Amino acid sequence: MTTDGARFLDGADWAGNIFIEGTWRPGSAGEAPIVEPATGEELGRTGRAGVDDVATAAGSAADAQQEWAALPHPARAAVLRKAGDLFGQHADELAEWNVREVGAIRGMAGFALHVAAEECYAASGLPSASLGELIPSEEPRLSMVKRLPVGVVGVISPFNVPLILSIRSVAPALALGNAVLLKPDPRTVMTGGVNIVRVFEEAGLPPGVLQLVPGGADVGEAMVTDPHVRVISFTGSTAAGRAVGELAGRHLKRAHLELGGNSAMLVLDDADVEKAVNLAAWGSFFHQGQICMTTGRHLVAARIYDDFVEALAEKASHLPVGNPATEEVALGPVIDEGQRDKIHHLVTSTTDAGATAASGASYDGLFYRPTVLSEVTRDHPAFTEEIFGPVAPVTRISSEDEAVELARASEYGLSLGIITSDVMHGLALADRIPTGIVHINDQTVNDEANAPFGGLAASGTGSRFGGLAANIEAFTETRWITARAEPPQFPF
């Protein structure tokens, strides 16, 4: 790849290598291609770590963490601020990787760079935050609670939004004095790994504090079980998250799990159809629907249902789909054939069960057409399962009580949208539907660096990302400390 900013990545020997102990070097599992989903072209090669590499990285990270945590808090904050600046300065080059390796449209790639910078800026405030409190004691002593770095944090991130879903754990964990082992999805090692490491390398992060160990499930398992790694921050599918959580629990480690979703958007009978359709299209089709918060179920009042389906299908039929590196498009490719086939199976099994494809339901290569499914019921596969593709299943509701019942009829509990002209009524309705995130008069896909993020039930273990309190809770340990002027005298 050649861009005007290529000198930034050319400043390190990342090609075919992993990053351990502050050096780019071959991984014990060799290397693998970086494949552009839109064309199938090989863009380069990155290294692959093996189990032995994880042990080496974790041991050296534990050593490096001690000195990093001991630095004055302005020094750690300065590295985070510099990293944020670098994401902005090299945005064109880094965004190009996001477009070509991930299949993101340019607007999405730009948004990811913006969030990455904001995550670093927000994290730069953590080193100077209050990390403790004085508490009363029955004894004549000073009694306090102090938050300390956990030590080494393992970050495992997915393919869909790799930059954001890596940096939102990496940045606060580093800011609070931890070292980090980063394992991005093998399909998106550049965007979710190499680019982040290069930014922090250039920002002055000491060697060993951030290490890159891309690899398969064996590498993830080695990270979870390594005794030096005390906290796992995992973002990915619910099935994989259950396995990570179980393994972490067996080793008495905290695992922060941000998992799948099948988020509902309720369109009440007082909603403006045109505005609701605009929200619905963005919620279901943005980034090819490959977002955990994607609107997976549209629950629409019967009075406006037909108008809503017709307008959404019309919009979907005119959205351009193509290679975001060479065309101005609304949707790019899905990540690979396996994901495409899963999407299509859910669509066809739902239409076979009685739903109607009002638009889409077809693909060309990895380019899946934005699809609207009407007359979807609660027993259809597209209603019950996370699709992770550009599909909008629309269900007719006859009352608000039915809307609440259907919104709750899911194992997931990530995000919720409610469209209504009565905001206070929408807020009251949201109280009846358990989710980690609620948006009144907006679709379900929203993200800000300073906002707590997380889901319930099969969507994860709650808000462990974003915001001061969530990050401190996620990446520090609690210690009780007392001090007395004189030792007490005990009866024996």
| Residue-wise DSSP of 13-63 | --TT-EEETTEEE-BTTBEEEEE-TTT--EEEEEE---HHHHHHHHHHHHH
At residue 289, the pLDDT reads 98
Q: What are phi and psi of 384, to 5 degrees?
A: -85, -25
Provide CB contacts within 8 A for 471, sequence distance 6+: 123, 126, 172, 175, 176, 465
Alpha-helical runs (H) found in 124-234: 162-175, 189, 195-203, 217-225
pLDDT digits (tens, 9 = 90+) for 373-409: 999 999 999 999 999 999 999 999 999 999 999 999 9
Evaluate if residue 274 carries a pLDDT over 80. Answer: yes
Matching residue, tokens 């290294």: 47
Active site residues: 258, 292
Provide CB contacts within 8 A for 213, sequence distance 6+: 18, 20, 27, 49, 53, 54, 57, 181, 182, 183, 219, 223
- State how far the Cα of 63 lies from the Cα of 65, in Å rounded to an integer: 5
Region 424-429: mean pLDDT is 98
User: Which has more pLDDT, 469 or 388?
Assistant: 388
Where b means 16+ CB within 10 Å and e means fewer, 317-352 reads eebebbbbbeeebbbbbbbeeebbebbbebbeebbe
Evaluate if residue 4 carries a pLDDT over 90. Answer: no
Q: Which of 338, 293, 5 is nearest to 185 (CA)?
A: 338
Provide CB contacts within 8 A for 255, sequence distance 6+: 224, 231, 232, 234, 244, 245, 248, 249, 461
pLDDT digits (tens, 9 = 90+) for 63-92: 999 999 999 999 999 999 999 999 999 999
Third-level CATH fold of 263-440: Aldehyde Dehydrogenase; Chain A, domain 2 (3.40.309)
Evaluate if residue 322 carries a pLDDT over 50. Answer: yes
Evaluate if residue 3 carries a pLDDT over 90. Answer: no
At residue 459, the pLDDT reads 97
At residue 346, the pLDDT reads 98
Confidence label for 465 from pLDDT (cuts 50, 70 and 90): confident
Instruction: CATH 3.40.309.10 in the chain: give the residue spans.
Output: 263-440
Q: What percent of the chain has pLDDT over 70?
A: 99
Average pLDDT across the chain, whole number: 96
Q: What percent of the chain has pLDDT over 90?
A: 96
Assigned CATH class of 6-259+460-480: alpha beta
Evaluate if residue 416 carries a pLDDT over 60. Answer: yes
At residue 2, the pLDDT reads 38
Confidence label for 278 from pLDDT (cuts 50, 70 and 90): very high
Evaluate if residue 6 carries a pLDDT over 90. Answer: no
Evaluate if residue 113 carries a pLDDT over 90. Answer: yes
Instruction: CATH 3.40.605.10 in the chain: give the residue spans.
Output: 6-259+460-480
